[in-house]
């Protein structure tokens, strides 16, 4: 078994990005600027946004964090999105999801200028991804594909089974790996909560990607000998041995499954760091695409 070390892979990407920023500075060019909108005080969202801002600092990007209370009206958020669309100093921005129930997430996503949509969630960018046209790829699926690519894993002709069909992970990663690209050319089976014979389907996977948010759901019997296993799930579970009282757990029963795999991602330290690295790649591209 080889560990698919997302942290180490993301660290190399960050070094490349830091070098690109250094060169731009030397040439007197603009530095990429990422803005993030965070609504409310959810611990998970705050951790993710802080990690994004910290990564900007580390690689030399500028960043702006805009925070609103849970009760912020939808119109205020839409007005902020409009002003960020028009702000020439901002190259790309994200609205951290999930949003409170009274706000229509799709309406907010659709209000973002597709050329600044570095999370890659806008329908225009999803359409570009499907048609393999230039655009921004959603950060987590792009991070998964980059992790596969940078670790020399063959995807062509392989059977890839994806657990979960969400708009941000399961659906886009299925499309990206089925495309006629490298990495890609997989035969993909996308599964969800209504799928029958899930265990048998998983047993035939050369590459198994789980994005369902159910800790330890993927057991040893579901994994084929020599499979590549990518665990996207990150669920907080109680852990009294930690001062904070919890730890992150993936969808895969790591200890039981690891010896059957050729490659496996840890949680944490697998897909999470790659998601942030992809967001940074998209932000640099957002600036370069505008000829800055």
Q: Does 213 bind ligand NAP (CB under 6 A)?
A: yes
Q: Which of 232, 252, 280, 281 binds ligand NAP (CB under 6 A)?
A: 232
Stretch that binds ligand NAP, among 19-27, 71-79, 168-176, 255-263 (CB under 6 A): 168-176
Sheet of strand 159-163: strand arrangement = 2-3, 261-264, 227-231, 207-210, 159-163, 187-191
Q: Does 164 bind ligand NAP (CB under 6 A)?
A: yes
For residue 104 the two structure tokens come to: 């229509």
135 touches 121 (CB < 8 A): no
Instruction: Identify the active-site residue in 96, 158, 206, 251.
Output: 96
Give min distance, CB of 268 to ligand NAP, in A: 8
The span from the CA of 223 to the CA of 245, in Å, is 31
34 touches 118 (CB < 8 A): yes
Size of the site for ligand NAP (CB under 6 A): 25
Q: Is 52 tagged catalytic?
A: yes
Q: Which of 25, 94, 114, 14 is nearest to 59 (CA)?
A: 14
Q: Is 42 tagged catalytic?
A: no
Q: Does 183 bind ligand NAP (CB under 6 A)?
A: no
**CA–CA distances in Å: residue 94 to residues 48, 100, 211, 274, 285:** 12, 16, 21, 16, 15
Q: Does 96 bind ligand NAP (CB under 6 A)?
A: no
**Residue nearer to ligand NAP on the CB measure, 158 or 249:** 249
Q: Is 96 tagged catalytic?
A: yes
Q: Contact positions toward ligand NAP, by CB under 6 A?
A: 140, 163-166, 168-170, 191-195, 198, 211-214, 232-235, 271-272, 275
């Amino acid at each position: 078994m080889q560990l698919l070390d997302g942290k180490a892979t993301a660290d190399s990407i960050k070094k490349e990005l830091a070098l690109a920023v250094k060169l731009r500075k030397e040439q007197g060019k603009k530095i990429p600027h990422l803005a993030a909108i965070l609504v409310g005080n959810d611990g998970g969202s705050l951790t993710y946004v802080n990690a994004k801002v910290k990564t900007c600092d580390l690689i030399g990007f500028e960043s702006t964090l805009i925070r609103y209370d849970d009760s912020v009206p939808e119109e205020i958020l839409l007005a902020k999105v409009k002003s960020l669309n028009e702000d020439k100093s901002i190259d790309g921005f994200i609205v951290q999801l999930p949003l409170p129930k009274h706000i229509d997430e799709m309406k907010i996503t659709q209000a973002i200028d597709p050329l600044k949509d570095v999370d890659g969630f806008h329908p225009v960018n999803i359409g570009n991804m499907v048609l393999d046209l230039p655009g921004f790829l959603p950060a987590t699926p792009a991070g998964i594909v980059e992790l596969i690519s940078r670790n020399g894993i063959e995807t062509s002709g392989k059977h890839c089974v994806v657990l979960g069909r969400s708009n941000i992970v399961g659906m886009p990663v299925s499309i990206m790996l089925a495309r006629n690209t490298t990495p890609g050319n997989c035969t993909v089976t996308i599964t969800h909560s209504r799928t029958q014979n899930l265990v048998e389907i998983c047993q035939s996977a050369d590459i198994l990607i789980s994005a369902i948010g159910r800790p330890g759901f993927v057991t040893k019997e579901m994994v084929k000998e020599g499979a590549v296993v990518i665990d996207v799930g990150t669920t907080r579970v109680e852990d009294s041995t930690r001062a904070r009282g919890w730890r992150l757990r993936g969808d895969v029963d790591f200890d039981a499954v690891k010896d059957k795999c050729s490659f496996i991602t840890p949680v944490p330290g697998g897909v999470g760091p790659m998601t942030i690295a992809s967001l940074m790649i998209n932000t640099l591209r957002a600036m370069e695409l505008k000829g800055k």
